[in-house]
A and B are shown apart, each in its own frame.
Chain A
Amino acid sequence: MTSPERRNFIWQIGTAAVAVLGVQSAWSTLRYARAPVSYGPTRRRPLGQASRFPRGSVVFVADAGVFVSRDSAGIRAMSATCTHLGCTVRAQADGGFVCPCHGSRYDKSGVVLSGPAPAPLPFLRVQRDRGGRLQADLDVPVPADQRTDVG
């Protein structure tokens, strides 16, 4: 191997090593930044006792970011987070909901009536703990007709 060839070879090895290190560093940085560490509130939010929600009522539980409604079949919780860009929707006198950020309108079942929202407001799983307290799981959507029986 002549000298220029050897120099080229070493240069190429060096470049490849730097490239591999660069990719590895970038990957490690991304992994580091996405560590499953959260100091925020839990995604399973307490709603309180069932007695807080009389039949026929729709109650906004601010800490959970959900509208809880109750009928003869039971209780269900609908997310108050607009499916467009994440603002909190507001209840209207006609039973529907409107988003203050870009004006998306939903009916009382969370179905989009107008505006840029790409999807209906999701209903979320509601469970009871041992003490009978209700909690909504923000990460588990359920069908709109699913209720939690509270007796």
Chain B
Amino acid sequence: MRAVLSSLVLHVHAPKVRPASLRLRATWALGLISVVLLGLLTMTGIYLMFYYFPHPDAAWRSMKDLAFVVPFGRVTRNLHRWTAHGMVALVTLHMIRVYLTGGYKRPREANWVAGVALGVLTLALSFTGYLLPWDQLAYWAVTVGANMAAAVPWLGQPLRLLLLGDMSVGEAALLRFYVLHCVVLPVAIFGLLAFHLFRVRKDGGLVVGQHAAAQIGTTTESSKLIPAWPHLIYRELVVAGLTTAAFLALALLLDAPLEPQADPTRTPNPAKAPWYFLGIQELAHSSAFWGGVFVPAATVLGLMVLPYLDTSEQGLGLYYPRQRRVAIHIFLAGVAFFVGVTVIGTWFRGPAWQWMWWPY
């Protein structure tokens, strides 16, 4: 075990790294913070499992017990909820950073695809975890989400049945989401993360500016390499500590929401998904298929094939290089579109999804 652990710790990074990799602006530590949040989610998730019962009669009560009876239960659940939100945000920002610096290009294509898959798994973990408190928000967000899956041509109804295990969200769905959330998806995300980290090192570390890239392997560059320990690891430990402290403070100050127990007969008005799915909900307002299925699926597939379409190798490692401005503008327009519909869904939609001029 010790050999495995030390092997893992010693091999995540190369023994020596380029000084450019240590600058904060090289990555803004977004990938590292995502991994730290995954660790926090795993730890708090295990604690929550001791008191959580995945059944409609008991799930919501478990939340109340955690909030009012279990010592540190409230802060554990708060920490789990806020780190889950944080991970979605950080993984997205990490992906944007990698795109802007051209980190998806050769030889990192496979790792970019793995990263996109990790992003999808992060959202799947959020979606499955959302049902578990069994409150009104959970029930109706998942009802809407599962019915979006039903909008897939031909496969929609079987897919929905596969996901829910029944004709509507009920105890079968709760159990399935629990197993997916606590076993299947974490195993998948940790397996893929191992591959992701392996490829980072295998592909030559971080993508760096062209000037530095041209020098890789030369004597000049090799002589400038510095040991990962302590220079890199020390910085990573500081970031991990600060991240944990920040989210712990948030968990102490702000309670995770818990609406009334799920009532399958009464939909709240308005019924809103978590913020990171509100963009899709806003798009689905026009059409369940185009907004809820086509746009998200096309976005994920488009991101995955991107490195095989955009093969130019200019301007790597820079944030706004002249050679990549068209690609960056197209990408930022896509990001702005998703941010825009998310903002509309969050603040400008009120009861019955009516437009509200004043933030709702």
Residues of A whose CB lies within 8 Å of any CB of B are 30, 33-34, 37-41, 43, 62-63, 65, 84-88, 90, 98-103, 116, 118, 138
Q: Quick check: A118 and B288 within 8 Å, CB to CB?
A: yes
Binds A, one of B28-36, B106-114, B349-357: B349-357
Q: Quick check: B165 and A87 within 8 Å, CB to CB?
A: no
- Nearest residue (CB) in A for B286 is A116
Q: Quick check: B265 and A100 within 8 Å, CB to CB?
A: no
CA distance A65 to B169 in the complex (A): 14
- Nearest residue (CB) in B for A60 is B265
Q: Quick check: B144 and A87 within 8 Å, CB to CB?
A: yes
Q: Quick check: B288 and A116 within 8 Å, CB to CB?
A: yes
- Nearest residue (CB) in A for B291 is A116
Which residues of chain A are within 8 angstroms of B158 by Cβ–Cβ distance? Answer: 34
Q: Quick check: B353 and A103 within 8 Å, CB to CB?
A: yes
Which residues of chain A are within 8 angstroms of B271 by Cβ–Cβ distance? Answer: 87, 100-101
CA distance A116 to B162 in the complex (A): 25
With A30-B162, A33-B162, A40-B167: A85-B267 Cβ-Cβ less than 8 Å? no
Q: Quick check: A116 and B165 within 8 Å, CB to CB?
A: no
- Nearest residue (CB) in A for B161 is A34
- Nearest residue (CB) in B for A82 is B267
Identify 24 residue pairs between A and B in the complex whose beta-carbon atoms are under 8 Å apart, listed by A's number: A30-B162, A33-B162, A34-B158, A34-B161, A38-B172, A39-B166, A39-B172, A40-B167, A40-B172, A62-B265, A84-B147, A84-B288, A86-B144, A86-B146, A86-B168, A90-B267, A100-B271, A102-B281, A102-B352, A102-B353, A116-B284, A116-B286, A116-B287, A118-B288
Which residues of chain B are within 8 angstroms of A86 by Cβ–Cβ distance? Answer: 143-144, 146-147, 168
Which residues of chain B are within 8 angstroms of A98 by Cβ–Cβ distance? Answer: 352
CA distance A66 to B177 in the complex (A): 27
CA distance A85 to B267 in the complex (A): 12
With A30-B162, A100-B269: A40-B168 Cβ-Cβ less than 8 Å? yes
Q: How far is the CB of B282 from chain A (nearest CB, A)?
A: 9
Does B171 lie at the interface of the complex (its beta carbon under 8 Å from any beta carbon of A)?
yes
Does B170 lie at the interface of the complex (its beta carbon under 8 Å from any beta carbon of A)?
yes
Q: Quick check: A88 and B170 within 8 Å, CB to CB?
A: no
Most buried by A among B269, B351, B352: B352
Does B285 lie at the interface of the complex (its beta carbon under 8 Å from any beta carbon of A)?
yes
Q: Quick check: B352 and A85 within 8 Å, CB to CB?
A: no
CA distance A90 to B266 in the complex (A): 9
Which residues of chain A are within 8 angstroms of B286 by Cβ–Cβ distance? Answer: 116
Which residues of chain B are within 8 angstroms of A103 by Cβ–Cβ distance? Answer: 285, 352-354
- Give B243-271 interface residues, CB cut-off 8 Å to A: 264-271
Q: Quick check: A100 and B288 within 8 Å, CB to CB?
A: no
Q: Quick check: B270 and A101 within 8 Å, CB to CB?
A: yes
- Nearest residue (CB) in B for A99 is B352
- Nearest residue (CB) in A for B160 is A86
Q: How far is the CB of B188 from chain A (nearest CB, A)?
A: 14
Q: How many residues of B contact A (CB 8 A)?
A: 35
Residues of B whose CB lies within 8 Å of any CB of A are 140, 143-144, 146-148, 158, 161-162, 165-168, 170-172, 264-271, 281, 284-288, 292, 351-354
CA distance A89 to B137 in the complex (A): 16
With A34-B161, A40-B171: A85-B265 Cβ-Cβ less than 8 Å? no
- List the 6 closest A-B pairs by CB distance, nearest first: A100-B269, A62-B265, A86-B147, A103-B353, A40-B170, A85-B147
CA distance A118 to B156 in the complex (A): 15
Q: How far is the CB of A8 from chain B (nearest CB, A)?
A: 27
- Nearest residue (CB) in B for A35 is B165
- Nearest residue (CB) in B for A63 is B265
- Nearest residue (CB) in B for A98 is B352
Q: Quick check: B285 and A100 within 8 Å, CB to CB?
A: no
Q: How far is the CB of B195 from chain A (nearest CB, A)?
A: 19
Given A38-B172, A65-B264, A116-B285, 5 other A-B residues pairs in contact with their CB atoms under 8 A: A30-B162, A62-B266, A85-B292, A100-B267, A101-B271
Which residues of chain B are within 8 angstroms of A63 by Cβ–Cβ distance? Answer: 265
Which residues of chain B are within 8 angstroms of A101 by Cβ–Cβ distance? Answer: 140, 144, 267, 270-271, 353
With A84-B288, A85-B144, A102-B285: A33-B352 Cβ-Cβ less than 8 Å? no
Q: Quick check: A85 and B143 within 8 Å, CB to CB?
A: yes
Q: How far is the CB of A113 from chain B (nearest CB, A)?
A: 13
Q: How far is the CB of A57 from chain B (nearest CB, A)?
A: 19
Q: How far is the CB of B283 from chain A (nearest CB, A)?
A: 10
- Nearest residue (CB) in A for B265 is A62
With A34-B158, A39-B171, A40-B166: A85-B266 Cβ-Cβ less than 8 Å? no
Q: How far is the CB of A136 from chain B (nearest CB, A)?
A: 14
Q: How far is the CB of A45 from chain B (nearest CB, A)?
A: 11
CA distance A90 to B269 in the complex (A): 10
